[in-house]
Structure 1
């Protein structure tokens, strides 16, 4: 059905847009997001999309859309889409490969992690302008004193822990600085002579329900 707000006889009516020219955020040349909304394509109607490019281990940080449901379609590469069901507080991890989709109901807390390099995802929303609440904003905008008091945490340790976020919205994590730091640590561990060195483990909960083979590699490597 034609959009009721649109005058299709107007000389300003638009039927084409190049998503590649409308960047939302850039982490680096391999990790970035393009967007398409009604402000870019005025005949779009009640829908919008994000064009997401990720390398292995990169994360579209935990967040939710208070006004939109979301379908994540895998174009290339692979990823794990995770969500928390607010009705039972269970985490569901959904691996997707090209041609597969994961559906995220409106308002549900979720995140996406690339399992390999050159992962390309398309996120489609049933709203022209999806609203976002990001985890990094919750952590940095909530006063340290409130977090410390509520969860019985040491405020100074908490302040030091959150300092690397630099009061910015992360969107695609980890930051390049964090990836480099973890890589250096891993190199240091591999060069150590003793055998009882700590090993990086999958940060995804092993008890969380997921749709995958038990030996599925989630790709958490830096």
Structure 2
């Protein structure tokens, strides 16, 4: 339990907040994230949350929170929460529907993919501001020469593959993405490869360990900022 030194009789004490007033990221009208942290509600203590809205096939990009665990609760729609277990070296995929949760331990590489329209997720963190390390930042900020040398890759091919990633993606694929064309993201899946089709005939809740086709799986050694 966090120790509080707040004067709860002070005039600046806050007990309520409208998340619509703090948009973290908007891709379009159906894909956006609102955030709540101690900067918005000063009585929160060591807790914060993201209010996430997604349409079919949209992805909260692969990332980690190096200072917080994350509990993902499905309010409506359906999604697959995928994470890499750093101890077993396995990719685990957890489909969730309304009323179901998936837990992501602190620092673990993970992502969420909506499998139906109007998906609404609540991500709850045990930190006042969860730090965010985005896969897109790791890919675009690490020199191509480092990837090429480390993994014995053709540098020009790798550099061309990641060149379209110009900024932090947050919710992918980027607007206007057409797989196979110049503006695609790295390994953007074709419709036939999409994880949505992979999971739609599975049982509604359980654990899978096979890779989700079409998305890059990378560790995240780059230290990033929180919500700012």
Provide TM-score, normalisation by structure 2. 0.80
The aligned residue for residue 67 of structure 1 is 67
Using the alignment, how far apart are the partners of 1:4 and 1:19 within structure 2? 23
Q: Report the equivalent of 1:20.
A: 20
8 A Cα contact 2:82 2:92, kept in partner: yes
| Runs ≥4 residues deviating over 6 A | none
RMSD (Å) for aligned C-alpha atoms? 2.5
CA–CA separation in structure 1 for the residues paired with 2:117 and 2:191: 22
Cα offset, 1:212, TM superposition: 3.9
What is the CA–CA distance in structure 1 between the aligned matches of 2:63 and 2:179, rounded to whole Å?
24
Higher helix share: 1
Whole-Å separation in 1 of the counterparts to 2:130 and 2:48: 8
- What's the counterpart of residue 187 of structure 1? none
Instruction: Judge conservation of contact 1:74–1:101 (CA < 8 Å) in 2.
Output: yes
Provide the C-alpha distance between the structure 2 equivalents of 1:144 and 1:52, rounded to a whole number of angstroms: 32
Using the size of structure 1 for normalisation, the TM-score is 0.82
Q: Which residue of 2 aligns with 1:174?
A: 173
Asked whether the equivalents of residues 92 and 207 of structure 2 are also in contact (C-alpha less than 8 Å), the reply is no
* SS state at 1:156 partner: helix
Distance 1:65 1:22 in 2: 20
How many residues align? The count is 196
Q: Deviations over 1:32-74 (max 9, x none)?
A: 0000000000001110000000000000001111110000000
Please, which runs of 5 or more residues in structure 2 have no aligned partner? 182-189, 215-228
Secondary structure at 2:20 match in 1 = helix
Counterparts of 1:70 and 1:199 in 2: how far apart (Å)?
A: 29
Contact residue 3 and residue 43 of structure 1 kept, 8 A: no
8 Å CA contact 1:53, 1:120 repeated in 2: yes
- Alignment partners' CA distance in 2, 1:56 and 1:104: 22
Specify the alignment match of 1:105 in structure 2.
Answer: 105
Distance 1:149 1:52, change over 3 A: same
